[in-house]
């Protein structure tokens, strides 16, 4: 590894707040250099949010810093330790096996941790090599920024850098590094680690750190009164609420995480660790996006219950700080109401409905049953429903063909469309044009489907990175009319809003991705 870069290098950092927790929480070490680094793609939106100056990515020193060949000014790199449950079983000590926290970046909206993913071996790499491959790095980069544009809480990604260095997975691939950032990368598994090992002083120190920096409201008299005066029970309740809202957004947009282990759950309620993820093509609650998930634990429809199970594990980890177990159970209980409420609100928004009314849940359940039975394309259905809402709502007796034609059970859809039109008339000020505008701003025309990512990856493997940038640009505007029949947005010959090609069904994404 080269030395530290000059102080005038655009990527200025400072020692992270996490470092103040002390050496029990991490190992200090530097990244391992990759040869012949090159830019794959950068996110201007991400750079702006971090307060980076124009032209930051034209500085070769930054390229070296974000590939692990040198240290940006102020960097104090470290890898954190955590444990966790993987596929429902206690896995013991884990940790940042291929990620390094470089430090904090002081941005216009606050302090953000900056990490390199794929920066080399750490003490927590276990049987791994500490590297990331180009394919998985492109997927994480694109999806991080796509989820942000969709309004879903997520870690962000600044760039992908590549190298010809070989990395062996199922086959030999080339190495890459993702620079990602977030207010914090602390996970449920950090708390499990110290609780499991009986390190209760460190557990309290960690909980106090997270409360002080990210959940200060948990120490307010009003909130403490609701949780028996215990700030850690209040903290558990706050994490529960954020997680419930996050899962509602995942389910509404058709996002499958693929590996919801407790070490992949953000304590801030962010989407974190993009591995074998997928956005649904056909709507199918039983869909399994992770080829490694042979038991279907993380199937799309099971995600909300898995999140609650993971929260229960977090609650168990916090019990040394919450002597009254009932307080912990009470902190978790609202999930059972918070998730379905947030989910119904999100789905009502997709249907163009504002205030929730009795019967809305039945209306939604009937629709989802039809979508699942006919395996209707999730994104295309919601977008077409938005586009044809005025006609469907004004003349439900003659449903619009482009929506109706998505179904095999067309009579079933006709019945549902009439019920939707009747429900719309119960709105305070029913207006089909206003409904359409709301729906078009809620139902994206493009998401990061597996086949779109695969096209960009194939191009990048051939040394053509332009498709990665083109796809990122489109994903940054998910509600734009990319599906305009007169001028659809394309990735090569493929229109971004088209049905997936037949070969998309054979793409396998696993935990090694």
460-487 per-position pLDDT tens digit: 999 999 999 999 999 999 999 999 989 9
Q: Which residue is associated with the tokens 């609202």?
A: 334
**Residues involved in catalysis:** 263
pLDDT at 513 over 60: no
**Quick check: 352 and 437 in contact, CB under 8 A?**
no
Kindly report, residue by residue over 479-509, the tens digit of the pLDDT: 999 999 899 999 999 999 999 999 999 998 9
DSSP 128: S
Rounded Cα distance between 211 and 231, Å, is 8
Instruction: Look at 312 and 394; give whichever has higher pLDDT.
Output: 312
Q: To the nearest whole number, what is the mean pLDDT of the chain?
A: 96
pLDDT at 412 over 60: yes
Q: Given phi > 0 = left and psi -120 to 50 = alpha, else beta, which region is 90?
A: beta
Report the relative pairing of strands 490-491 and 78-80 from DSSP bridges: unpaired
For residues 88-106, average pLDDT: 97
CA distances from 507 to 295, 324, 495, 501 (A): 19, 48, 19, 11
CA distances from 402 to 94, 139, 283, 284, 406 (A): 49, 31, 17, 21, 7
Q: What is the pLDDT of residue 127?
A: 87
Counting other chains too, the contacts that 337-340 makes at CB distance below 8 Å and 24 or more residues apart are 338/240, 338/241, 338/244, 338/245, 339/244, 339/247, 339/248, 339/304, 339/307, 339/308
pLDDT at 1 over 90: no
Contacts of 407 (CB under 8 A, 6+ apart): 370, 374, 376, 413
Relative orientation angle of helices 466-475 and 134-149, to the nearest 10 degrees:
20
Rounded Cα distance between 442 and 379, Å, is 11
pLDDT band per the 50, 70, 90 thresholds, residue 8:
confident
Helix (H) or strand (E) holding 382: helix 378-387
**Quick check: 108 and 133 in contact, CB under 8 A?**
no
Residue 101: strand pairing partners? 78, 115
CA atoms within 13 A on the CB side of 374: 20
Going by C-alpha positions, the residue among 79, 25, 22, 21 that lies closest to residue 197 is 25
Relative orientation angle of helices 303-318 and 188-196, to the nearest 10 degrees:
40
Tokens of 441: 């701003």
pLDDT band per the 50, 70, 90 thresholds, residue 512:
low
pLDDT band per the 50, 70, 90 thresholds, residue 511:
confident
pLDDT at 221 over 70: yes
pLDDT at 85 over 70: yes
DSSP 162: E
Minimum mean pLDDT among 112-116, 339-343, 430-434: which range? 430-434
For residues 358-385, average pLDDT: 98
Rounded Cα distance between 182 and 156, Å, is 6
Tokens of 127: 């049987």
Decide: residue 8, CB within 10 A, 0-12 exposed, 13-18 middle, 19+ buried. exposed
pLDDT at 314 over 70: yes
Q: Which residue is associated with the tokens 């974190």?
A: 272
pLDDT at 190 over 80: yes
Rounded Cα distance between 333 and 484, Å, is 45
Kindly report, residue by residue over 260-310, the tens digit of the pLDDT: 999 999 999 999 999 999 999 999 999 999 999 999 999 999 999 999 999
CA distances from 259 to 144, 185, 262, 263 (A): 16, 17, 9, 10
Q: What is the pLDDT of residue 132?
A: 97
Tokens of 485: 């029949």
Contacts of 329 (CB under 8 A, 6+ apart): 315
Kindly report, residue by residue over 237-256, the tens digit of the pLDDT: 999 999 999 999 999 999 99
Q: What is the pLDDT of residue 454?
A: 97
Alpha helices in 150-199 (DSSP H): 188-196
Rounded Cα distance between 323 and 191, Å, is 16
Tokens of 98: 């291929």
CA distances from 410 to 351, 374, 402 (A): 19, 10, 12
Going by C-alpha positions, the residue among 283, 276, 235 that lies closest to residue 259 is 276
For residues 431-447, average pLDDT: 96
Q: Which residue is associated with the tokens 């444990």?
A: 83
pLDDT at 2 over 70: no
Q: Which residue is associated with the tokens 């940042």?
A: 96
Q: How many helical (H) and strand (E) elements, i.e. helices and strands, does the chain have?
A: 18, 14
Report if pTM > 0.95: yes
Kindly report, residue by residue over 126-149, the tens digit of the pLDDT: 988 999 999 999 999 999 999 999
End-to-end CA distance of the chain: 26
């Amino acid at each position: 590894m080269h030395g530290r870069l000059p102080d005038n290098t655009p990527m200025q950092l400072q020692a992270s707040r996490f470092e103040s927790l002390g050496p029990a929480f991490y190992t200090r070490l530097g990244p391992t250099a990759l040869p012949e680094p090159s830019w794959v793609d950068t996110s201007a939106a991400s750079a702006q949010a971090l307060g980076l100056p124009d032209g930051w990515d034209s500085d070769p020193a930054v390229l070296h810093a974000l590939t692990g060949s040198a240290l940006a000014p102020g960097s104090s790199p470290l890898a954190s330790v955590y444990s966790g449950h993987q596929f429902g079983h206690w896995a013991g000590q884990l940790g940042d096996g291929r990620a390094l926290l470089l430090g904090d970046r002081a941005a216009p909206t606050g302090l953000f941790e900056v990490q390199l993913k794929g920066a080399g071996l750490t003490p927590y790499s276990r049987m791994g090599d500490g590297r990331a491959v180009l394919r998985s790095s492109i997927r994480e980069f694109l999806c991080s920024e796509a989820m942000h544009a969709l309004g879903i809480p997520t870690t962000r990604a600044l760039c992908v850098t590549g190298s010809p260095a070989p990395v062996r997975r199922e086959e030999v691939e080339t190495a890459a590094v993702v620079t990602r950032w977030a207010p914090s990368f602390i996970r449920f598994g950090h708390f499990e680690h110290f609780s499991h090992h009986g390190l209760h002083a460190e557990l309290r120190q960690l909980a106090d750190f997270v409360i002080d920096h990210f959940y200060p409201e948990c120490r307010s008299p009003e909130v403490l009164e609701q949780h028996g005066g215990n700030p850690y029970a209040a903290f558990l309740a706050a994490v529960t609420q954020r997680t419930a809202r996050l899962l509602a957004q995942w389910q509404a947009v058709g996002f499958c995480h693929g590996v919801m282990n407790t070490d992949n759950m953000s304590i801030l309620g962010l989407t974190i660790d993009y591995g074998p993820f997928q956005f649904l093509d056909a709507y199918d609650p039983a869909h399994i996006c992770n080829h490694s998930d042979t038991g279907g634990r993380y199937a799309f429809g099971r995600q909300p219950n898995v999140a609650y199970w993971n929260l229960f594990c977090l609650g168990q980890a916090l019990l040394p700080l919450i002597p009254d177990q009932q307080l912990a159970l009470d902190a978790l209980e609202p999930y059972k109401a918070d998730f379905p409420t947030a989910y119904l609100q999100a789905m009502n928004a997709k249907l163009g409905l504002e205030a929730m009314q009795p019967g809305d849940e039945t209306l939604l359940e009937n629709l989802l049953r039809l979508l699942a039975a006919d395996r209707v394309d999730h994104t295309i259905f919601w977008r077409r429903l938005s586009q044809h809402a005025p006609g469907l709502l004004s003349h439900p007796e003659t449903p619009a063909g482009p929506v109706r034609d998505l179904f095999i059970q067309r009579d079933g859809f006709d019945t549902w469309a009439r019920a939707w039109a009747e429900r719309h008339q119960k709105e305070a000020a029913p207006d089909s044009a206003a409904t359409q505008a709301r729906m078009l701003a809620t139902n994206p025309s493009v998401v990061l489907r597996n086949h779109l990512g695969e096209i960009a990856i194939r191009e990048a493997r051939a040394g053509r990175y332009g498709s990665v940038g083109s796809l990122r640009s489109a994903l940054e505007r998910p509600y734009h009319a990319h599906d305009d029949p007169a001028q659809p947005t394309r990735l090569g010959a493929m229109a971004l809003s088209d049905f997936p090609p037949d070969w998309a069904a054979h793409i396998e994404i696993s935990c090694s991705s």
